[in-house]
Structure 1
Amino acid sequence: MDLLRIATAGSVDDGKSTLIGRLLFDSKAIFSDQLDAVEKTSTERGSEYTDLALLTDGLRAEREQGITIDVAYRYFATPKRKFIIADTPGHIQYTRNMVTGASTSDLSIVLVDARKGMVEQSRRHAFLVSLLKVPHLVVAVNKMDLVDWSEEAFEEIRNEFADYASRLNIADVQVIPVSALTGDNVVSRSENMPWYQGSSLMHHLENVQIASDSNLVDVRFPVQYVIRPHSNDYHDYRGYAGQVASGVLKPGDEVVVLPSGLPSTIKEISTADGPVEAAYPPMSVTIRLNDDVDVSRGDMIVRPNNQPMVAQNFEAMVCWMSDRPMRVGQKLAIKQTTKSARALVKGLRYGLNINTLHRDEEAGSLSLNEIGRITMRTTQPLLADAYQRNRTTGGFILIDEMTNDTVAAGMIIEGS
Structure 2
Amino acid sequence: FSWSLKTMGRGGNQDYDEDDYYDHEADDGDGTEYTEEENIAYYLPELKEKMKTKGVKKTEDELTEALVKANFDVAIAFKELTRAPPKPKPESAPKPKAKPKALGTLTKPAAPQAGSPSPPPKHKAPQTPMEPKTPLNFPPSTPKTPKGLMGMTFDPLPEQTFETLVDDDGKHRLSIVVVGHVDAGKSTIMGHILFTLGLISKKVMHKHEKESRQQGKASFHFAWLLDEQEEERARGVTIDVGVTYFETPHRRITLLDAPGHKDFVANMITGAAQADAAVLVVNSVKGEFEAGFVQGGQTKEHVVLLKSLGVKEVVVAVNKMDTVDYDQDRFNQIVEELTPYLKQTGFRDEDIRWCPVAGLAGENLDKAKDPKLTSWYQGPSLLDLIDSFQPAERLANYPMRLCISDVFKTQSLGTTIAGKMETGKVAAGDKVVMMPAGEIYTVKGIERQNEPVKEAAAGDNIELGLNGVSDPLSLSIGSVLCSFGAVPVKFATKFTAQMITFKSSRPITMGYNAVLHIHVLSVPCVISKLVALLDKNMEVEKKKPKCLPKDKSVSCLVEITTPKAICLELFTEFRNLGRFMLREEGETIAAGVVKDIPPPLPRD
TM-score by length of 2: 0.46
Identical positions, percent = 27
Q: Is the 8 A contact 2:209 2:218 kept in 1?
A: no
Q: 1:164 aligns with which of 334, 341, 348?
A: 341
Q: Which moved more, 1:373-382 or 1:80-89?
A: 373-382
Amino acid of the residue matched to residue 340 of structure 2?
A: D
Equivalent residue, structure 1, for 2:382: 201
Instruction: Output the CA distance in 1 between the equivalents of 2:461 and 2:320.
Output: 39
Equivalent residue, structure 1, for 2:116: none
Instruction: Output the CA distance in 2 between the equivalents of 1:48 and 1:342.
Output: 40
Higher strand share: 1
Q: Is the partner of 1:22 in helix, strand or coil? A: helix
Q: 2:302 aligns with which of 125, 150, 158?
A: 125
Amino acid of the residue matched to residue 548 of structure 2?
A: E
Q: Is the 8 A contact 1:387 1:411 kept in 2?
A: no
Q: 1:386 aligns with which of 547, 558, 571?
A: 571
Q: Is the 8 A contact 1:317 1:411 kept in 2?
A: yes
- Assess, with a 3 A threshold, how the Cα gap between structure 1 residues 328 and 15 changes in structure 2: closer, same or farther: same
Cα deviations by residue, 1:323-358 (Å, 9 ceiling, x for unpaired) = xxx98548999998899x9986314689xxxxxxxx
Q: Is the partner of 2:243 in helix, strand or coil? A: strand
Matches within 5 A, 1:7-406: 7-46=177-216, 51-114=221-284, 115-116=286-287, 117-118=289-290, 119=293, 120=296, 121-171=298-348, 172-191=351-370, 192-194=372-374, 195-212=376-393, 214-215=394-395, 219-222=398-401, 245-246=422-423, 281-282=459-460, 313-315=495-497, 328-329=510-511, 345-347=527-529, 361-363=548-550, 374-376=558-560, 384-386=569-571, 390-391=575-576, 393-395=577-579
Instruction: Output the CA distance in 2 between the equivalents of 1:28 and 1:388.
Output: 42
Q: Is the 8 A contact 1:9 1:98 kept in 2?
A: yes
Q: Is the partner of 1:193 in helix, strand or coil? A: helix
Q: Is the 8 A contact 1:222 1:301 kept in 2?
A: no
- Assess, with a 3 A threshold, how the Cα gap between structure 1 residues 51 and 336 changes in structure 2: closer, same or farther: closer
Cα deviations by residue, 1:87-112 (Å, 9 ceiling, x for unpaired) = 22211111111111111011211111
Q: Is the partner of 1:167 in helix, strand or coil? A: helix
Q: Is the 8 A contact 1:223 1:338 kept in 2?
A: no
Q: Is the partner of 1:8 in helix, strand or coil? A: strand
Gaps of 5+ in 1: 225-241, 250-270, 286-296, 320-325, 351-359, 365-371, 399-407
Cα deviations by residue, 1:365-395 (Å, 9 ceiling, x for unpaired) = xxxxxxx98522579897623179621x314
Equivalent residue, structure 1, for 2:416: none
Q: Is the 8 A contact 2:308 2:579 kept in 1?
A: no
Gaps of 5+ in 2: 1-170, 404-418, 427-444, 447-451, 465-479, 502-507, 533-546, 583-588, 598-604
Instruction: Output the CA distance in 2 between the equivalents of 1:204 and 1:373.
Output: 39
Q: Is the 8 A contact 2:491 2:565 kept in 1?
A: no
Amino acid of the residue matched to residue 495 of structure 2?
A: N
Per-residue deviation at 1:73? Answer: 1.8
Instruction: Output the CA distance in 2 between the equivalents of 1:381 and 1:65.
Output: 34
Cα deviations by residue, 1:303-339 (Å, 9 ceiling, x for unpaired) = 99xx9999863115599xxxxxx98548999998899
Instruction: Output the CA distance in 1 between the equivalents of 2:518 and 2:209.
Output: 44
Cα deviations by residue, 1:252-284 (Å, 9 ceiling, x for unpaired) = xxxxxxxxxxxxxxxxxxx979999x9655599
Q: Is the 8 A contact 2:402 2:423 kept in 1?
A: no
Amino acid of the residue matched to residue 373 of structure 2?
A: M
Q: Is the partner of 1:86 in helix, strand or coil? A: strand
- Assess, with a 3 A threshold, how the Cα gap between structure 1 residues 336 and 14 changes in structure 2: closer, same or farther: closer
Larger radius of gyration: 2
Q: Is the 8 A contact 1:11 1:112 kept in 2?
A: yes
Amino acid of the residue matched to residue 386 of structure 1?
A: F
Amino acid of the residue matched to residue 385 of structure 1?
A: L
Instruction: Output the CA distance in 2 between the equivalents of 1:44 and 1:124.
Output: 35
Instruction: Output the CA distance in 1 between the equivalents of 2:454 and 2:240.
Output: 39
- Assess, with a 3 A threshold, how the Cα gap between structure 1 residues 4 and 77 changes in structure 2: closer, same or farther: same
Instruction: Output the CA distance in 1 between the equivalents of 2:358 and 2:311.
Output: 24
- Number of residue-to-residue matches in the alignment: 337
Cα root mean square deviation, aligned: 4.9
TM-score by length of 1: 0.64
